[in-house]
């Protein structure tokens, strides 16, 4: 039996943080995100609390993004209360790596760390001090969908409207051919997709394969519509 799969979008991420904003201390000095998925909630939380934020490696190096100063870093030597946040916690491996980095940098005694995640499971929620929502496995997030090895390795994926925009014209003629040859790319999956399936005609296989190769999209199978027009 195929299990139910939980899915969370960017909108869901934002909503979960807003609904749990009361759980986070408002007198915190700095928000630290766990790259790279944790930078999304770190940015949102920093904006809502009006606090500076940074990633874990920049924090260890003493660099913090300043509030209101785009692209500028400020010195974080005066910051004592730190919220470390990731998008999710499951096994706790990512969190363990972060804590190890902090220990190696001898920062454990200098700062008061609060560890948090937006999404947790019932079994992993005690691995963090704060979580926003319980989302059990299996689960997929919009920001990681095209980088998930298990999902894409077992997925059927459309081309038009997913990997590139839908063709603005479908006349099976010169304009259509010119578009699918030069279609702008929407997403770049970083892992191999099992099967690409499309209503493009079989006679456009070569054009489609060339576009996929030029755009670095890896796949095992390509199924097209085997009709004359």
pLDDT tens readout for residues 103-160: 999 998 899 999 999 999 999 999 999 999 999 999 999 999 999 888 899 999 999 9
| For residues 73-92, average pLDDT | 81
CB atoms within 10 A of CB 211: 19
Q: Is the pLDDT of residue 210 over 80?
A: yes
pLDDT in tens, 48-66: 999 999 999 999 998 876 5
Rounded percentage of the chain residues whose pLDDT exceeds 70:
93
**How far apart are the C-alpha atoms of 59 and 75, rounded to whole Å?**
9
The whole-number pLDDT of residue 195 equals 98
Per the model's pLDDT, the better-predicted residue between 172 and 92 turns out to be 92
What sign results for the dihedral spanned by CA atoms 127, 128, 130, 131? negative
The helix-helix angle for 39-49 and 10-19 (nearest 10°) equals 40
Question: Per-residue pLDDT for 220 more than 80?
Answer: yes
Provide mean pLDDT across the span 12-27: 97
Question: Which residues does residue 89 pair with via DSSP β-bridges, in sequence order?
Answer: 120
Asked whether residue 74 carries a pLDDT value surpassing 60, the answer given is: no
pLDDT at 71: 46
Mean pLDDT, the chain, as a whole number?
Answer: 92
Q: How far apart are CA 179 and CA 81, in angstroms?
A: 53
pLDDT at res. 64? 78
Where residue 229 falls among pLDDT bands split at 50, 70, 90? confident
- In this structure, the strands spanning 53-55 and 30-33 are parallel
Checking if the pLDDT of 101 tops 50, the result is yes
Name the pLDDT band for 1 (thresholds 50, 70, 90). low
With a threshold of 0.75, does the pTM exceed it?
A: yes
């Amino acid at each position: 039996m195929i299990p139910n799969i939980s899915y969370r979008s960017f909108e869901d991420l934002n909503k979960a943080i807003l609904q749990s904003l009361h759980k986070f201390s408002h007198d915190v000095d700095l928000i630290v995100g766990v790259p790279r998925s944790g930078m999304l909630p770190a940015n949102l939380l920093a904006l809502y609390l009006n606090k500076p934020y940074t990633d874990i490696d920049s924090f260890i190096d003493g660099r913090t993004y300043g509030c209101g100063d785009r692209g500028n870093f400020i010195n974080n030597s005066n910051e004592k209360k730190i919220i470390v946040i990731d998008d999710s916690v499951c096994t706790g491996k990512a969190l363990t790596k972060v804590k190890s980095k902090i220990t190696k940098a001898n920062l454990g005694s200098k700062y008061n760390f609060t560890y948090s995640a937006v999404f947790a499971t019932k079994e992993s929620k005690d691995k963090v001090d704060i979580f926003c929502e319980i989302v059990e496995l299996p689960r997929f997030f919009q920001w990681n969908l095209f980088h998930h090895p298990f999902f894409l390795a077992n997925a059927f994926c459309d081309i038009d409207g997913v990997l590139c925009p839908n063709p603005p014209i479908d006349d099976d003629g010169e304009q259509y051919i010119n578009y699918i040859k030069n279609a702008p790319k929407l997403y770049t999956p970083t892992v191999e997709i099992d099967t690409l399936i499309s209503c493009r005609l079989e006679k456009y296989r070569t054009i489609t394969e060339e576009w996929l190769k030029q755009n670095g999209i890896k796949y095992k199978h390509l199924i097209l519509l085997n009709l004359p027009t």
